[in-house]
Amino acid sequence: MENFIEVRLMKEAEGFLESLDENTKEKVSFNIRKTMQGLKGEWFEKMKGTDELFEFRTLYNKQYIRLFAFWDRRNNKKTLIICTHGLIKKTDKTPTTDIAKAERFKKEYFSS
């Protein structure tokens, strides 16, 4: 099946995924692949109160894994999602430091 959406990982997102055990990494990758195929669901949603940040959300083995992302819509030929970094959530609230980090990565990406 052809992918409708391309997902790219920044260095920190790659490092985060590599730090996960194989089963957890596969579950997160499965959610990314669903999005790449154009499917929509609760595994990829806009983060409230942010400047167009999204997150891949995965619950696996009683852990809440989050991978922060944003859209790059500058190219009309390909839909692109950039993943900045990830975390394993320990509380209901997303740390403001991680939101600020994702927004900083987004700003740097578009300014380069």
Decide if pLDDT at 112 tops 80.
yes
Residue 94 has pLDDT above 80, yes or no: yes
**pLDDT reading at 2 higher than 70:** no
Q: How many CA atoms lie within 13 A of 37 on its CB side?
A: 9
User: Which residue range forms the structural domain that includes residue 30?
Assistant: 5-111
Task: Say which CATH number the domain at 83 has.
Answer: 3.30.2310.20
Predicted pLDDT at 74? 83
Per-residue pLDDT tens over the stretch 44-77:
999 998 989 999 999 999 999 999 999 998 876 6
Distance CA 70, CA 52 (A): 7
User: How many domains does the chain contain in total?
Assistant: 1
What's residue 93's pLDDT?
Answer: 85
